[in-house]
Amino acid sequence: MNRQDNIEQIIITVADEFSVDPMDVVSVNGVNTVRVIEARQVCALFLRDLMLSSDIGSLLGKRGHQYLSGAISAVTKKATKDPDFADRVLNLHDKIHAEGWLCSP
């Protein structure tokens, strides 16, 4: 798989975990339910190893490089307070790493 395929697989996998449409995760005018926002933030967390921060913001329908730091902060804060959310993120981390999607050829 190439880098673009890895990015797409991460978005699809995270969207599936949060039961949202991957198109909503990357859409500028997409749905902004709690689940979509959380999926978008978790995607940003994983994509930081594959993309520039400004590109992550653009891909996820947001503007600017500031989105990445805010998303990581939000995921960290929620994971600290919500063990179920933390488990979801850890399970996604394990799956994404097992599939090798964070490795660029």
How much is the pTM? Answer: 0.92
Query: What is the number of alpha carbons within 13 Å of residue 52 lying toward its C-beta?
Result: 6
Q: Domain residue spans in the chain? A: 3-97
Which pLDDT tens digit goes with each residue over 43-77?
999 999 899 888 898 898 876 678 889 999 999 99
Output the six-digit token pair for 56.
Answer: 């992550």
In contact, 89 and 45? CB cutoff 8 Å: yes
pLDDT of 21 reads: 95
* CATH domain 3-97 topology: Chromosomal Replication Initiator Protein Dnaa; Chain: A; (1.10.1750)
Assign 103 to helix, strand or coil: coil
Which pLDDT tens digit goes with each residue over 76-93?
999 999 999 999 999 999
pLDDT of 1 reads: 72
Over residues 22-26, mean pLDDT: 93
